[in-house]
Chains A and B, each alone.
Chain A
Amino acid sequence: MMDETPKKLVELKDLQLYFNQGKSNEVRAIDHVSFDIYEGEVFGLVGESGSGKTTIGRAILKLYEPTAGQILFDGQDVTHLKHKHLSEFRKDAQMIFQDPQASLNGRMKVRDIIAEGIDINKLAKNKAERDAKVQHLLDLVGLNKDHATRYPHEFSGGQRQRIGIARALAVDPKFIIADEPISALDVSIQAQVVNLMKELQTEHSLTYLFIAHDLSMVKYISDRIGVMHWGKLLEIGTADAVYNHPLHPYTKSLLSAIPVPDPEVESMRQHIEYDASIETDGKERQMVEINPGHFVLATPEEVSVYKNQQK
């Protein structure tokens, strides 16, 4: 699946992001989170609402200012980028948003929405080149050239999300953060968009951070997966390891809750309740590698329990 020494494209080092810091209503949205995203992989981030997964995506793109810690992109520190350097960075790192209705400007034609990044970064020499680029992008995402002169409200949800994808691709990024890109879409359209994203990833050697609460879809598209809860990253590993050999009790609980489209399996499924008190006992926990590439947040005692479970 990957080379032996995969190159790290994005590195989060002990990232913290607190809202209302120091006040009584302080929220630790990202609480000492560290992980790497390798070049060319799809990294899935799962967790319930309020787990901090969206905040992480936004922090990486500098839509939020981290409280402490470091974000590296392609080896460069991007934690506190400003102005010109920030827009250069955003040419390499783009975002696909959850709600294509809300994230596309309803007063702009599709052509101008897609070309906005091209204009800002002066990627086209003249109008002809700009039009050709837009044309090419529409092709890539399965829309046709008549669509360029229309407005977002003239499209269905799935088509709008394709426009969102074309816009993200316009600046030829290396890295795309997709924050719940399919949860606003119909079931039959979700598969279309996911398959398109997967194709584009291969063709353009893109790296994705795929954030979603649909656990089956994340498993399907991701190479590696991180599980978050209450601002902490609890477990990280390959998609297979996390789903088939989960370590952390929260991961087990989360996986046991996924409904399966099979009545026989469903009649036997038991939801494992999660006792969150193990996160609030105040003990010091660190990410420990239990199996190669499979990490879990644990105390030394818990580590030996997890290791025993593996035998």
Chain B
Amino acid sequence: MSNPILKVENLHVNFNTYAGTVQAIRDVSFDLNQGETLAIVGESGSGKSVTTKTLMGLNAKNALIPDNSRLIFKDRNLLDLTESDWQSVRGNEIAMIFQDPMTSLDPTMKIGMQIAEPLIKHRNMKKEDALKRALELMKGVGIPDSEEHINDYPHQWSGGMRQRAVVAIALAADPEILIADEPTTALDVTIQAQILNLMKTLQKDTGSSIIFITHDLGVVAGMANRVAVMYAGKIVEYGTVDEIFFNPQHPYTWGLLNSMPTTDTQQGGLQAIPGTPPDLLEPPKGDAFASRNAYALAIDSKEEPPFFRVSDTHYAATWLLDERAPKVTPPVKIQKRWAHWREMQEQESQA
């Protein structure tokens, strides 16, 4: 069934700063399966971007990763790679699409050449051949009149077209894993819709696996096969996209789902999560979300919850799932999602 191409095991990332050690990633484990899209959701400071930077070997020099952390890709631990080893992985086997297409493109280099660069470097292609392939890639990502624009510079293009170029660069070397870090956050919704469609189509064609980092649950619902919710440097819940949206178990996931309005949300229907995320210089004892959690139990402030199994694919780290925990009634909108989940289950069992 599942065929993990990448296994992340017990990942810890600490940063030494003048103020002390920031524990940015605190024991994160997940698998990425062949051909799937895994969305990592969370707010700033939750560790989602540090996770992806670690996967690309791009962390700042003050990052400390303990020896028991493992990133297994093709039978090797990426954390053991030297910088020169990384050069053959990055942009080749694992590629990244960054958030802001203006800052991730080189303003002094022609776009065609930027797309051809990974081919020249990783595939030892001649310049002419690489540029020919770059032209095909530009057509593939839907850049109109590609022949005329291959020698353009980034500033001559709009934000949406630039992000298409970034996608083309990432796909150039036909990577097995594509990491997209908020790839559409800087774009308008109409352009966002185009880029997301493009990524879906390309994934179907190439069969690559995508790790999609975002805070927009709407985008997650449309793109992901599986979802991992991160909070304060940990994964607090993961499952299939249906399980996370219709059968969420962690109060933080409830809070996220309730604090985003849809176009149907009535006045007064928006429930904010109170407070702010904890400071990871000194992570709180127990469940890091407890102080913002209306459903917190006494044990939450003493002991960190382990992962409780909801289904074979769905786990959540909340004491509410412990058999000794009192039964709580989630917010009304979550109850509606649960009711829908039960209907889905019934239909499935009848089928």
Contacts and interface: CB of A to CB of B under 8 A. Distances in A.
B262 A260 contact: yes
B255 interface: yes
Given A220-B261, A266-B221, A213 B270 contact: no
A216 interface: yes
A192 B261 CA distance: 12
Interface stretch (B170-178, B190-198, B319-327): B190-198
Nearest to B274: A192
Contacts of A269: 222
Interface string A208-243: 000001011101100000000000000000000001
B192 A191 contact: no
B188 interface: yes
A156 interface: yes
B340 to A, nearest CB: 8
A261 B246 CA distance: 10
A262 B265 contact: no
Nearest to A266: B222
Given A259-B222, A261-B218, A274 B190 contact: yes
B72 to A, nearest CB: 29
Contacts of B272: 188-189, 191-192, 194-195
Contacts of B206: none
Interface in A258-311: 258-263, 265-267, 269, 271, 274
Interface in A144-170: 156, 158-159
Contacts of B255: 188
Give the size range of B's interface with the partner.
35 or more
B276 A216 contact: no
Interface in A3-35: none
* Interface core residue of A156, A215, A253, A259 (most chain B CB under 10 Å): A259
Contacts of B271: 191
Contact of B259 (A49, A190, A243): A190
A130 to B, nearest CB: 29
Given A158-B276, A266-B222, A254 B262 contact: no
A219 to B, nearest CB: 5
A182 B286 CA distance: 31
B317 to A, nearest CB: 18
A260 B219 CA distance: 7
Contact of A219 (B197, B257, B261): B261
B125 interface: no
Given A192-B272, A258-B189, A219 B260 contact: no
B194 A187 contact: no
B216 interface: yes
A271 B218 contact: no
Interface in B265-288: 265, 267, 269-274, 276-277
B308 to A, nearest CB: 23
Given A186-B215, A216-B260, A259-B216, A191 B190 contact: no
B241 interface: yes
B218 A260 contact: yes
B90 to A, nearest CB: 29
B218 A266 contact: yes
* Interface core residue of B215, B241, B262 (most chain A CB under 10 Å): B262
B276 A220 contact: no
B256 interface: yes
A263 B193 contact: no
Contacts of B191: 48
Interface of B: 43-44, 159, 188-194, 196-197, 215-222, 241-242, 245-246, 255-263, 265, 267, 269-274, 276-277
19 contacts: A186-B44, A187-B215, A187-B256, A188-B256, A188-B273, A216-B265, A219-B261, A253-B190, A260-B222, A261-B218, A261-B257, A262-B221, A263-B241, A263-B246, A265-B221, A266-B218, A271-B194, A271-B197, A274-B190
Given A158-B276, A260-B218, 8 more contacts: A189-B43, A217-B261, A243-B263, A255-B263, A257-B193, A259-B189, A260-B263, A263-B221
